Amino acid sequence: MPVLPLPKNFYQRHPAAVAPDLLGKLVVRQVNGATLCGRIVETEAYGSDDPASHTARGMTPRNKAMFGEAGCAYIYFIHGLHYCLNVTARGDTPAGAVLIRALEPVSGVATMQKLRGRTSLPELASGPAKLTQALAIDKSLYGHDMTLPGPLFIAAEPERPAGPPLAVKATPRIGISRATDLLWRFVLVGSECLSKKQPV
């Protein structure tokens, strides 16, 4: 059965509302005939009125996607070595995005292992730069519309287990130096693939 992307209006809300809803969703990446797929277990929200966000100092050629349409990929290069993947999300704010920080590999694992040069499952995508490497994401996908079927999109989990609801926990964001009091990082409690161990 086909996996359908989440609709655009899913992203037309405040990033701090979209971020927790993305947990448990699937990132689908199609490359060279292979389909790579992972479950989102960790996200962070970045708003427009947010001193920790790239948008805090206005629009630049790098961050212009965050001011554009909701549901698009915002990919940037950090520290000269690593890419990070965001999805733009905004409601009535001028800009915003959700950083995808960690995935749990679901399918195409062998390809991810090859791309990463690692075999341990929790090591494949347990960090923002790791998951872009595992999914072969680079700037060629900058601004890509993630609400349409294609090389990169986000889909709802096909079978939603009728068991207990997902345990979501909000924590301070990681790797930033400002606005650390905002609990805008969201994790799936108990996942083996978080970028940091969760103090339960």
Partner DNA sequence: TCTCAGATTAACT
Partner DNA sequence: GTTAATCTGAGAC
CB of 102 to DNA, least distance (A): 8
Among 8, 14, 118, 169, binds DNA (CB under 7 A): 118
Q: Please identify, using beta-carbon distances, which residue of 6 and 131 lies nearer to DNA.
A: 131
**Piece in contact with DNA (CB under 7 A), picked from 5-13, 47-55, 107-115, 146-154:** 47-55
Instruction: Report the SS3 class of residue 146.
Output: coil
* Separation between Cα atoms, residue 152 and residue 155, nearest integer Å: 10
Q: Does 200 bind DNA (CB under 7 A)?
A: no
Q: Where in 85-114 is the site for DNA (CB under 7 A)?
A: 86, 97, 99
Q: Does 146 bind DNA (CB under 7 A)?
A: no
* Separation between Cα atoms, residue 6 and residue 81, nearest integer Å: 30
User: Which residues have C-beta within 8 Å of that of residue 104, sequence separation ≥ 6?
Assistant: 38, 39, 41, 121, 125, 191, 192, 193
Q: Does 180 bind DNA (CB under 7 A)?
A: no
- The Cα-based distances of 184 to 13, 25, 46, 138, 164 in angstroms read 15, 18, 8, 25, 23
* Separation between Cα atoms, residue 33 and residue 193, nearest integer Å: 26
Q: Does 175 bind DNA (CB under 7 A)?
A: yes
- Residues in contact with DNA by CB under 7 A are 44, 46, 52-54, 57-58, 60-63, 66, 74, 77-82, 84, 86, 97, 99, 116, 118, 123, 127-130, 173-177, 195
